[in-house]
Amino acid sequence: MSAAASAAGDRMQRGRAFRGVFLRELHGYLITPVAWLFAVIFLLSAGAFTFYLGAFFERGQADLDPFFRFHPWLYLVLVPALAMRLWAEERRSGTLELLLTLPIRPWQAVLAKFLAAWVYIGCALALTFPMWLTVNYLGQPDNGVILASYIGSFLMAGAFLAISECLSVLTRSQVIAFIVAVAVCFLFLLAGDPLVQQPLLALGSGRVADAFADLSLLAHFQAISRGVLDLGDVAYFVLTIVFWLAANVAILDARRGG
């Protein structure tokens, strides 16, 4: 067998292994109670917050600002809860070593798990389409702004997911993975808020505070939700996802090497 044929066979094996991990994870969301709770709680909470806390009807405006306003806070709790099992459960049950013996590279395993969870979150987000139908029935909204807000919401969910997946590989306990992920996501969500900025400024780290403020997930999401898909904001979410997935791969490589 030639070297080219051998390499092609290896690529096919890795491709099948990648699809296997992706489909296994995606199927797991259909049978896992936590995953179903994510979809139910997200849909119910998004609707309740929009109509009650967001005063959707009382505002008298045909837009979905009250709907998207609460997405960061829903994701802050729900995405880490969804992602806490991704690697923590593998480590607790001892299947992590088995997974890494498959003809699949660590980055493929990380990406397969991430994409399966992100697709599931995207499906849950897509199920909120009645809100879009409702606002179009009641008035004439700017659907371009709504589309941009959906894209921003999906990207922000991906950033939360990448952070949570990376932190999940550090522990066998899903509870610890959840708590640490919520804490880290909270810091990045409010990186530009005085709550986070004041301690940094008190330490005399003005440049650090300014640099950290630029990492605010909330600020970049709010910029997109105004209807402007700025390349810088989109690139920020993409780079955040890539960075945390790369960190996840590095941790897996270190554990396999050890």
Number of other CB atoms surrounding residue 251 within 10 Å: 17
Q: Tens digit of pLDDT for each residue in 49-99?
A: 988 888 888 887 888 999 999 999 999 999 999 888 888 777 777 677 677
Residues in the chain: 258
Q: Rounded mean pLDDT of 136-155?
A: 92
Lowest mean pLDDT among 27-31, 149-153, 222-226, 235-239: 27-31
Q: Rounded mean pLDDT of 19-30?
A: 84
From CA 108, how far away is CA 158, in angstroms rounded? 17
Nearest to 222, CA basis, from 94, 104, 70, 110: 70
From CA 39, how far away is CA 46, in angstroms rounded? 11
Residue pair 209/200 in contact (Cβ under 8 Å)? The answer is: yes
State both tokens at 132. 């879009």
pLDDT at residue 125 greater than cutoff 90 = yes
**What confidence score (pLDDT) does residue 165 get?**
92
pLDDT at residue 5 greater than cutoff 60 = no
Q: Tens digit of pLDDT for each residue in 178-201?
A: 999 999 999 999 887 777 777 767
More confident residue, 213 or 189: 189
**What confidence score (pLDDT) does residue 36 get?**
82
Residue pair 234/155 in contact (Cβ under 8 Å)? The answer is: yes
Lowest mean pLDDT among 67-81, 129-143, 199-213: 199-213
**What confidence score (pLDDT) does residue 117 get?**
93
